[in-house]
Structure 1
Amino acid sequence: MVSANNPQSNVPKDPPLPPSTHDEQLGKAKRLGIAVMDRLARALHALGRWWTSVIVALLGFGSSSKLRIGRWFRKVHRLVDPASNTTVPERVFTVRRGLIVAFTSLVLLAIIGVGVWGAWGLIRTASQAATAARVSRALPESSASQSGASSSDAKHRDGDGSSSASKGEANADASAQNSDAAASDDVPANVLNGDERSALFAQAQQTAQQSGKAQAQYAYCVSTTGDVGDTAGFEDMIFRTLNNPKGWPRAGATFTLADQSAGQACDMTITLAQAQYMTTFSDGCSDEYSCRVGNDVIINADRWNGATPSWIQGGGTLGRYRELVINHEVGHRLGHIDNETPCAGPGNPAPVMLQQSMGLDGCTPNEWPLDSELWMS
C-alpha cells in the first residue's frame, strides 16, 4: 500500500530497459547448452539400456532364472533402469548407467587383452619348440645346442647367408641322414705342427706361382671377442683353409700369420666373435651371422659351432662349412661381393661367393672358389 505522506511514492518509475544483444546471445547459448545436455543424457540413457540388455542376452540371465548371479545382475539392471524405481531422479540413473557401461567395457577389454596375450604366448612358445626340434634333427648333437634356426650374413652386403632348415615331419628321414653326414664331418682332430705348416705353405706358394696370376701375400692376425672357448682349432683351420691349394692360392694369394711381436702389420684381422658382440663391429652386422667390415673378418661363433640347417641338409658338413665361411668372408677382403656369380644350374658346384647358407639355388655345397672367381682386386 502506498503512503500519501511519502512524496516519492507518486514519482513515476522508469520503464525497464530492453535486453542487450549480449544478454540475448547469452540466453541462446544457455538454452542450446541445456538442449545439448538433455540430448546427451537421453543418448546415454538409451546406450545404457541397450548395453545392459545385450549383456543379459549374452549371459542368458532370464527373468525366471534362479541362479544367484542372475538375480544379482537383475538387481544391477534395476539400478540403471528408471522405470523400475521412479523415486530416484533420472539424472542419477544416467550417471549410474554411464559408470556401469564404462566399468563393464574395461572388464571386457581386459579379458580380451589377456586372451590375446595368452594365445600369442602359446603360439610363440610352440613356434620356438618346433624350430628347436627342426634344428636338433638337422644338426649333430654336439652342435645343435649352439645352433640357431637362422640364416647367415643376409643383413650385410659382405655376409655369408643362410636360411632355416627343413619343414615338417615329412622331411624327418632326410633330416636324419643329414645329421649322420654332419656327425661324420671332416673337422681336423689335431692342429698342424710346425713342419706341417711349412709344407702346406710351400705348396700354397707353388700353387700361386703356377696360377699365372699376380701374386700377393697377406699377413693376417687372429683375435677373439667374448667367451668363445679355446681357439687353437680356429687358428689352425684358418691356416689350413687359406693356404689350401684348392682355395685362394689358385688366384695368386698366400697367407701367413702376422708376427705382431716383431711389429708386423695385419693386412686383415680374423675374429671369432660371440654372437652378442657382432653388432659392435658395425650396425650392418647381425648377432646371428658372420660379416666383413673393412679389414676385419668376423666369424660368428654360433655359425662356427653349428653351421646352418640348410647347409647340412644340402649335404654339407660342419668342417666344410668352416672352410666355406673363411673363404667367403676373406673373399670379401680380396674384393669379391655376395652372389657375384650365380649358380650355373642344378647339380653344379655353388660359387663360394654365393650366399650358400641362404640357399643353394639348385647347386651342390662348395667351399672353394670356382675358376670364374679366381681374381683379386
Structure 2
Amino acid sequence: MLVAVLVPTAVICIAVAAAPLWTDGDDPSAAAAASAASGPVKDSTDSAPASSPRSPAGASTEPKVRAKPRTKTKPSSGSSSGPGGHPVIPPSGPGTFTVARAGASDTGKGNAYRVEVEDGTGVDPDKAAAQIAGFLAAPRGWAHGGEHTFHQVAKGTAGLVVRIATAATTDRICGKSGLDTHGEVNCRVGVDVMVNLKRWQTGSPEFDGPLADYRALIINHEVGHWLGHGHETCPGKGRPAPAMMQQIYGLKGCVANAWPYDTKGHYLSGPSVS
C-alpha cells in the first residue's frame, strides 16, 4: 500500500493464480482470506474478482501498521478550505461512490480499471480520474516501455478499481479483510485500491515534494501491490526511495520518490521487506 504515500468497462482477460494472502506487517501464512469488499456505486456494476497475472486477489495495506504516521497536513489546491487554509476532509461518508466517466471508453487495450470517488468528499471524480490516468501512463510509471497498459472504463466489470474514500469507509472496506488502516493509510484488497481521502488531500509529512507527486506515489505503490510487487526499503543514503517503500514511516536516508523507474528507464529497487 503506500504510504503513506495515491484508485473502468472492459474486462481484463487474465489468469488468477492461487497464492497466500499477505498483509503489510504480517506473516503471509497468517493473513486472512481477502474479500473484494465494495460499497454501493452509482451507475456501475460490481467489480469482478479478477487480478493481474502476477498478483492473485488478496490484500495489502500501505504502509505497515506498526505505528501511526504523523498527521501534519499540506494544503490541497482546488479544494474547499477550512481554518488555516487546509482542505475540509470529512472523516466519514455515506459509503456510496460515483464513477468517473470523463476519459472512459468501452473499447481499449490493456488492464481495464475504473475510478470511483465516495460521495460527499469534495473530490471531483473526473478530475481525479484524469490525474490517475496520467500516473498510470507515465513513462516512469508501471507503463514503462509498454510493460503494462491501462484502460479506463466506466461500466461493467473491471479487474482494478481505484476508490478514493473517507477514512471511515476505507477502514471499513479494508477491515473486512482483516486490515487495520487506523484512519490514516491506504490499502489494496483484491481488485480494490482504497485511497484514504486524507492522504489524497494532504499528502504525507515524510514526502518532500508537490502533492501531485505524492498522489502518484499512492497510485504507483498500491497498483504495484496489485501487479505483484512486495515492499522494498531504502537501498542507500541519498538514493531515491523505491516506490514500493513505505515512505510514510520515514525515508531511512533515501530521497523521496514517487516513481518505479528513473529517467533512464532503470527500476528503482531496494532490499525486499518481508
Q: TM-score, normalised by structure 2?
A: 0.57
How far, CA to CA, are the matches of 1:159 and 1:184 in structure 2?
Answer: 24
Percent identical: 34
Separation of aligned partners in 2, 1:239 and 1:300: 18
Equivalent AA in structure 2 for residue 279 of structure 1: D
Residues 334, 356 of structure 1: CA spacing in aligned structure 2 closer, same or farther, 3 A cutoff?
same
- In 1, Cα distance between the equivalents of 2:161 and 2:268? 22
Aligned residue number for residue 168 of structure 2 = 276
* Deviation at residue 279 of structure 1 after TM alignment: 2.2
Determine the structure 1 residue equivalent to 2:50.
none
In 2, Cα distance between equivalents of 1:165 and 1:317: 17
TM-fit CA distance, 1:224:
2.4
Q: Are the aligned partners of 2:165 and 2:197 in contact in 1 as well (CA < 8 Å)?
A: yes
1:164 is aligned to: 70
Corresponding residue of 1:326? 219
Matched-pair contact (CA < 8 Å) for 2:243–2:260: yes
Match of 2:239, as an amino acid?
A: N
Alignment partner of 1:317 is 2:213: no
Among 178, 189, 192, which residue is 1:296 paired with? 192
Deviation (angstroms), 1:259: 4.5
3-state SS in 1 of match to 2:61 = coil
In 2, Cα distance between equivalents of 1:348 and 1:218: 31
**What letter matches 2:159 in structure 1?**
D
Give distance in 2, aligned partners of 1:273 and 1:345.
34
Find the aligned partners of 2:70 and 2:154 in 1 and give their Cα distance.
40
Map 1:114-153 → 2, pairs under 5 A: 152=4
Q: Judge conservation of contact 2:187–2:193 (CA < 8 Å) in 1.
A: yes
1:164 partner letter: R
Structure 1 position 184, deviation (Å) = 10
Q: Which amino acid aligns with 2:115?
A: V
Q: Deviations over 1:268-293 (max 9, x none)?
A: 11000111111221320422211100
Does the C-alpha gap of structure 1 residues 307 and 163 become closer, same or farther in structure 2, counting only changes over 3 Å?
Answer: same
Contact 2:240 2:254 in 1 (8 A): yes
Q: CA deviation at 1:223?
A: 1.3
Offset at residue 373 of structure 1 (A): 5.9
Structure 2 vs 1, CA of residues 165 and 278 (structure 1 numbering), >3 Å: closer, same or farther? closer
Give the secondary structure class of the aligned counterpart of 2:199. Answer: helix
Change (3 A) 1:336 1:373: farther
Match of 1:235 in 2: 129
In terms of fraction of residues, the more strand-rich structure is: 2
> Offset at 1:326?
0.6
Deviations 1:34-68 (A, max 9, x none): xxxxxxxxxxxxxxxxxxxxxxxxxxxxxxxxxxx
1:357 aligns with 2:248: yes
Partner Cα distance (1:307, 1:233) in 2: 17
Matched, 1:266 2:144: no
Report SS of the residue matched to 2:174. coil
Matches within 5 A, 1:19-38: none
Distance (Å, rounded) in 1 between the aligned partners of 2:260 and 2:236: 16
Query: Structure 1: which amino acid aligns with 2:4?
Result: S
Counterpart selection for 1:220 from 113, 124, 130: 113
In structure 2, relative to structure 1, the CA distance for the partners of 1:184 and 1:223 (3 Å cut) is closer
Aligned to 1:254: 149
Cα deviation for residue 317 of structure 1 reads 2.0
- Cα distance 1:302–1:329, how it changes in 2: closer, same or farther (>3 A)? same
Deviations 1:327-369 (A, max 9, x none): 1011110001122xx3121111110000011111111111110
Could you tell me which amino acid in structure 1 is paired with residue 158 of structure 2?
C
Distance 1:337-1:245 versus aligned 2 partners, 3 A rule = same
* AA partner of residue 358 (structure 1): Y
After superposition, the CA RMSD in angstroms is 3.4
CA distance in 1, matches of 2:220, 2:117: 18
- Cα distance, 1:275–1:335 mapped onto 2, change above 3 Å: same
Check conservation: 1:278, 1:285, Cα contact below 8 A. no
1:347 alignment counterpart? 238
Unaligned runs of 5+ in 1: 1-150, 167-178, 188-192, 199-204, 206-215
Q: Secondary structure at the match of 2:110?
A: strand
**Distance apart, 1:152 and its partner CA:** 3.4
Relative to the length of structure 1, the TM-score reads 0.42
Give matches, 1:197-208, under 5 Å.
none
Q: From the superposition, tell whether residues 184 and 300 of structure 1 become closer, same or farther in structure 2 (CA, over 3 Å).
A: closer
SS of aligned partner of 1:248:
coil
For 1:231-284, what per-residue CA distance to the aligned partner results, in whole angstroms no more than 9, with x for missing partners? 232111110100011111116011111241xx4x30111000111111221320
Q: What amino acid does structure 2 have at the position aligned with 1:221?
A: R
CA distance in 1, matches of 2:142, 2:154: 22
Contact 2:231 2:245 in 1 (8 A): yes
SS at match of 2:224: helix
Instruction: List structure 1 segments (4+ residues) > 6 angstroms apart after TM superposition.
Output: 182-185
Structure 2: how far apart are the matches of 1:332 and 1:249?
15
